[in-house]
Homo-oligomer: A and B are copies of this chain.
């Protein structure tokens, strides 16, 4: 199948190679012309603009966007709108907010263009050689592109999830669960690190990966990480986050659902961004006020 691929970052580049491995024809564009050139060397057809990319695709066109969520996705879609024809099809494979995807799907539909929101998991490695995808959009139209997902995903690794928005919704919640699982693992190792015993963390992760209830890909990655830096001495515990954990919590609030684990996983990440906290100062000052407890002065 011929696919127009917009966005050759870590995910998009690997996905393109994956598509080509399966004999799909990729026409690729990225604002970074070097990335386009690099992929051309691997067998893709390069395009120097979105307009050129569209012109090189046969109708009905199939365009897969793999660009950052938010403004850039909005801009690319806005440019595509002026170029596409009824019957064309756009896949947003990025991490867009599902509410945006619902809105975009409606707008596209008015123009006769099919829109699919596709959540993609599995990291760079997955994009390259076997991803996991969650797909929202028109069920009947989906049949026309299902082969793409059969090819680029691991076995059983794609799901037509339902109407437009459901793909990104599932990916959003997937990431919320991911935050919780990561923090659970991390807290476990923090207890071990402060424990009276002298554990070999890599070996702990290794044994937990073989036969235990908590065996998981995240635990395998934990094992990998410790194999490279046995006590993670080289890095700081600063935990950044992208939008989806936050969206999951906001969605939970909108649905009046208690999700303490996902919420706290996110908040501990926020906490890690600050060396000191104003709330800590307030509590310390209060303890001093009522109990005369010493405060720690700033140097």
Q: A152-167 toward B: CB 8 Å interface, digit per residue (1/0)?
A: 0111111101110110
State whether B186 touches A279 (Cβ < 8 A): yes
Is A185 positioned at the interface, with any CB of B under 8 Å from its CB?
yes
Distance (whole angstroms) from the CB of A119 to the closest CB of chain B: 9
Complex interface residues of chain A between 141 and 197 (CB less than 8 A to chain B): 153-159, 161-163, 165-166, 169-170, 173-174, 176-195, 197
Q: Is A59 an interface residue (CB 8 A)?
A: no
Q: Which residues of chain B are near A174, meaning CB under 8 Å?
A: 188, 208, 212-214
Would you call A76 an interface residue if the criterion is a C-beta within 8 Å of the partner chain's C-beta atoms? no
Partner of A270, one of B159, B186, B258: B258
The A interface is mostly helix, strand or loop, or mixed, namely helix
A191-B176, A207-B156, A283-B269 known; A276 vs B181 contact (CB < 8 Å): no
Partner among B124, B131, B173 whose Cβ is within 8 Å of the Cβ of A292: B124
Question: What 0/1 readout, one digit per residue, does chain A (258-274) give for beta carbons within 8 Å of chain B?
Answer: 11111111111111110
State in angstroms the CA–CA spacing of A9 and B166 once bound together.
42
Bound: A270/B268 CA distance, A:
13
Q: Nearest Cβ in chain B — how far from A183, in angstroms?
A: 5
Question: A264 — nearest CB in chain B belongs to which residue?
Answer: B260
User: How distant is the Cα of A122 from the Cα of B124 in the complex, in angstroms?
Assistant: 30
Q: In the complex, A253 Cα to B266 Cα: how many Å?
A: 9
When the two chains form their complex, are residues A199 and B166 in contact, meaning their CB atoms are under 8 A apart? yes
Can you tell how many copies of this chain the complex includes?
Answer: 4
With A162-B198, A170-B204, A282-B232 as known contacts, state yes or no: A122 contacts B239, CB within 8 Å.
Answer: no
Residues of chain B within 8 A of A125, CB atoms compared: 290
Whether B258 contacts A183 by the Cβ 8 Å rule is no
Q: How far is the CA of A190 from the CA of B207 in the complex (A)?
A: 31
Taking a contact as CB atoms under 8 Å apart, the answer to whether B211 and A132 are in contact is: yes
Taking CB atoms and an 8 Å cut-off, the chain A residues in 64-87 that contact chain B are: none
Interface locus among A29-37, A50-58, A220-228: A220-228
- Given A190-B278, A235-B297, A261-B264, 16 new contacts (CB under 8 A): A157-B207, A158-B207, A166-B199, A169-B197, A170-B204, A177-B184, A180-B180, A181-B181, A181-B184, A193-B278, A225-B282, A232-B281, A237-B284, A246-B253, A258-B277, A263-B263
What are 21 residue pairs bridging A and B, where the CB atoms are less than 8 Å apart in the complex? Answer: A131-B211, A133-B207, A153-B210, A155-B210, A159-B206, A161-B203, A166-B197, A173-B192, A180-B185, A191-B255, A191-B259, A195-B255, A222-B285, A229-B285, A237-B284, A239-B280, A239-B284, A239-B287, A250-B250, A259-B267, A272-B277
